[in-house]
């Protein structure tokens, strides 16, 4: 990964010109190797490489493939997921008095946009969490439209049958061609 630390040794020529593009405080080289790999120069005092790093809204971490090989996996960074859910809750609160069909149309677009960016191989659990929390937030704010507007779960299930939200799906698969 691209990185830069104040006491870093000479950078390769291919990386030198890129250091001017970003913020030097946020750019550094990170050693990211699977645990147990044969390498002497480690980043932390215990001699272990970092287990995760954040980049472009994803937490990158080492996992195992189905065949048992070490692979880099990605999931939505916790800060980004929290921020997206907060945004959905705020939007639902602000637009709770809009017609349900209009709310549905907008929520559908928001979910599809989230899936479009974060829908990568191995991130389905985070997509599903976002989907479920979005459904919960929408129901909460539909219930707060007035004193008589409480939407219980059976009524909400009927509403979702009429106005279905898009199910989470992987858009960017590293296995599809």
**What are the tens digits of pLDDT across the range 89-134?**
999 999 999 999 999 999 999 999 999 999 998 899 999 999 999 9
Is the residue at 152 inside a domain?
yes
Beta strands across the sheet bearing 58-64: 52-55, 58-64, 70-76
Given a cut of 60, whether residue 29 has pLDDT beyond it is yes
Predicted confidence at residue 55, as pLDDT, reads: 80
- Same domain assignment for residues 67 and 117: no
Is the residue at 45 inside a domain?
yes
Domain that holds residue 41: 31-76
As a dihedral over the C-alpha atoms of residue 31, residue 36, residue 39, residue 45, rounded to 10 degrees, the angle is 70
| Residue whose entry in the numeric block shows the structure tokens 């287990």 | 51
Predicted confidence at residue 40, as pLDDT, reads: 43
CA distance from start to end of the chain: 25
Predicted confidence at residue 50, as pLDDT, reads: 63
- Same domain assignment for residues 82 and 158: yes
User: In the predicted model, what is the mean pLDDT of the chain?
Assistant: 83
pTM: 0.76
Predicted confidence at residue 44, as pLDDT, reads: 57
- Same domain assignment for residues 68 and 92: no
- Same domain assignment for residues 88 and 154: yes
């Amino acid at each position: 990964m691209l990185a830069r630390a104040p006491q870093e040794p000479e950078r390769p020529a291919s990386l030198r010109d890129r250091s001017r593009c970003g913020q030097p405080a946020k750019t550094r080289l990170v050693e990211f190797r699977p645990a147990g790999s044969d390498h002497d120069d480690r980043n932390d005092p215990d001699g272990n490489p970092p287990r995760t790093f954040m980049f472009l809204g994803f937490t990158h971490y080492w996992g195992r493939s189905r065949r048992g090989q070490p692979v880099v996996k990605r999931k939505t960074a916790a800060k980004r997921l929290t921020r997206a859910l907060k945004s959905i809750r705020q939007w639902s609160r602000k637009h709770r008095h809009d017609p349900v069909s209009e709310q549905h149309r907008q929520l559908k677009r928001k979910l599809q946009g989230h899936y479009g960016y974060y829908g990568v191989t191995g991130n389905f659990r985070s997509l599903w969490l976002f989907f479920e929390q979005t459904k919960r937030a929408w129901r909460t704010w539909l219930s707060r439209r007035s004193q008589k507007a409480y939407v219980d779960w059976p009524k909400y299930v009927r509403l979702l049958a009429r106005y279905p939200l898009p199910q989470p799906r992987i858009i960017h698969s590293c296995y599809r061609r």
